[in-house]
Amino acid sequence: MAKIRIGPDDVLSMTVEELERLMEREGQPRFRGAQLFEWLWRHGIGSYEEIPVWPKPLRQRMAQEYPFHRLRLVESQRAHDGTTKLLLEMADKQRVETVLLPHRFGYSVCISSQVGCAMGCKFCASGLKGRVRQLSAGEMADQVSFGNHVLAERQARVSRVDVMGIGEPLDNLEALMQFLELAHHSQGMNLSYRHITVSTSGLVPAIKHLADSGKPVTLAVSLHAPNDALRLSLMPVNRAYPLDQLIPMSRYYAEKTGRRVTFEYLLLKDVNDGEKEAHELGRLIGGFGAHVNLIPWNPVAEHPFQPSPKAHVRRFQSIVQEYGISCTIRRELGQEIDAACGQLRLREEEPVSP
Ligand code: SF4
């Protein structure tokens, strides 16, 4: 059997232009590249045999020379509210989590960008075992495609993408940029950049790269603390990129792209949820039209944190709003399933020691 490629010859990671060049190298007309892209991403084919407009010898040659692997479903959990968590397997048997979330506007899909994560945030299940490997652009795009496949049964499609699952997407920048092109292209999944959110723990140089890329996606910065000492105790990345670099770069992103930046703030009882922290946060990010998304803590067995009482959450919100900052509380979706990112994959592997 032909070996599946995860690399430069992986057709699932190629843009239309790259596929056109590949088909030319194969002695085929250039338009076959765009045809292949369309069949891969608009129709979601699982093999070359499903391209009826191609002659059989071409289908066979491509299957031999450029085999591709679509994600395989290992497990799915569906909550009463429609939130659906998928554990998907890649060609090398590594697994990723992808979550479908219902909204008033339709469905969003939250995709992973790495297997594991190197950032080591203290509240996160995904970072417990470090980074195993990067995902390719095709593996990211295929999570969106798989979401469409699942939603077809509900007569729906993915209308927004959050690159917020397992991994730090800006630590996999090249593949992320390629993924954005794949997801955006009108001959494929045709998603507006405005409907794609990229989340980061705060890799400042990569935020600059994204700002200057001409791809105006929504940026979500995982802040979780309003001062360096507290943030460093929760997020080791703050040592390399402290707040006096992260906040000005977030402002630069907003100015360069014209997009509102969202700051994610996980509320941990008696850690970062006090009135003092709310005022500090208001002073830190006021004045450039940023948005704050407060996230109620979803308990993870491996971590000692407790959720903030609802009254603390509301008080925190109203203080932040006093600074003229738009501030919402994230809806809790999929409560009865392993909803925090990384939990499903960890449970499928051996237990993690406390
Ligand atoms: S919160 Fe995000 S960046 Fe931090 S360890 Fe988890 S996956 Fe990585």
Q: Over 70: is that where the pLDDT of 7 sits?
A: no
258 Cα to the center of ligand 1, angstroms: 26
What is the number of the ligand 1 atom nearest to the C-alpha of 171? 3
More confident: 293 or 298: 293
Tell me, yes or no, if 153 is annotated catalytic. Answer: no
Q: What is the mean pLDDT of residues 68-92?
A: 94
25 lies in which domain range? Answer: 11-65
| HEC sequence for the chain | CCCCCCCCCCHHHCCHHHHHHHHHHCCCCCHHHHHHHHHHHCCCCCCHHHCCCCCHHHHHHHHHHCCCCCCEEEEEEECCCCCEEEEEECCCCCEEEEEEEEECCEEEEECCCEEECCCCCCCCCHHHHCEEEECCHHHHHHHHHHHHHHHHCCCCCEEEEEECCCCCHHHCHHHHHHHHHHHHCCCCCCCCHHHEEEEECCCHHHHHHHHCCCCCCEEEEECCCCCHHHHHHHCCHHHHCCHHHHHHHHHHHHHHHCCCCEEEEEEECCCCCCHHHHHHHHHHHCCCCCEEEEEECCCCCCCCCCECCHHHHHHHHHHHHHCCCEEEECCCCCCCCCCCCCHHHHHHCCCCCC
104 and 16 inside one domain: no
pLDDT-based confidence at 333, cuts 50/70/90? low
Which residue of the set 110, 117, 124, 341 is catalytic? 341
18 and 105 inside one domain: no
Distance CA 136, CA 69 (A): 12
Q: Over 60: is that where the pLDDT of 96 sits?
A: yes
60 Cα to the center of ligand 1, angstroms: 42
61 and 194 inside one domain: no
pLDDT-based confidence at 304, cuts 50/70/90? confident
Predicted local confidence at residue 343, as pLDDT: 45
Measured from the CB, is residue 119 less than 6 Å from ligand 1?
yes
133 Cα to the center of ligand 1, angstroms: 14
What is the number of the ligand 1 atom nearest to the C-alpha of 167? 7
243 and 157 inside one domain: yes
Tell me, yes or no, if 168 is annotated catalytic. Answer: no
264 forms beta bridges with: 222, 293
Q: What is the mean pLDDT of residues 209-227?
A: 97
pLDDT-based confidence at 337, cuts 50/70/90? low
176 and 52 inside one domain: no
Residue-wise pLDDT for 219-231, tens only, equals: 999 999 999 999 9
266 and 288 inside one domain: yes
The domain spanning residue 29 has which CATH number?
A: 1.10.150.530
Q: What is the mean pLDDT of residues 189-203?
A: 96
147 and 279 inside one domain: yes
* 24 is a domain residue: yes
Ligand 1 pocket, mutate which of 111, 112, 114, 119 (most atoms under 8 A from CB)? 119
Which residue of the set 20, 38, 97, 264 is catalytic? 97
The last residue of one of the domains, among 65, 85, 101, is 65
Q: Over 50: is that where the pLDDT of 91 sits?
A: yes
55 and 87 inside one domain: no
Ligand 1 pocket, mutate which of 170, 198, 201, 303 (most atoms under 8 A from CB)? 201
The domain spanning residue 302 has which CATH number?
A: 3.20.20.70
* 285 is a domain residue: yes
Predicted local confidence at residue 303, as pLDDT: 76
Measured from the CB, is residue 166 less than 6 Å from ligand 1?
yes
Q: Over 70: is that where the pLDDT of 107 sits?
A: yes
Q: Over 80: is that where the pLDDT of 210 sits?
A: yes
Predicted local confidence at residue 339, as pLDDT: 44
Distance CA 159, CA 101 (A): 11
152 and 178 inside one domain: yes
Q: Over 60: is that where the pLDDT of 147 sits?
A: yes
pLDDT-based confidence at 3, cuts 50/70/90? low
* 141 is a domain residue: yes
Q: Judging by beta carbons within 10 Å of its beta carbon (0-12, 13-18, 19+), is residue 78 exposed, middle or buried?
A: middle
258 and 225 inside one domain: yes
44 and 143 inside one domain: no
Predicted local confidence at residue 82, as pLDDT: 87
201 and 56 inside one domain: no
Cα–Cα distances in angstroms (integers) from residue 34 to residues 20, 21, 41, 192, in the given order: 6, 10, 11, 19
Predicted local confidence at residue 129, as pLDDT: 78
Measured from the CB, is residue 163 less than 6 Å from ligand 1?
no
Predicted local confidence at residue 350, as pLDDT: 35
Predicted local confidence at residue 352, as pLDDT: 30
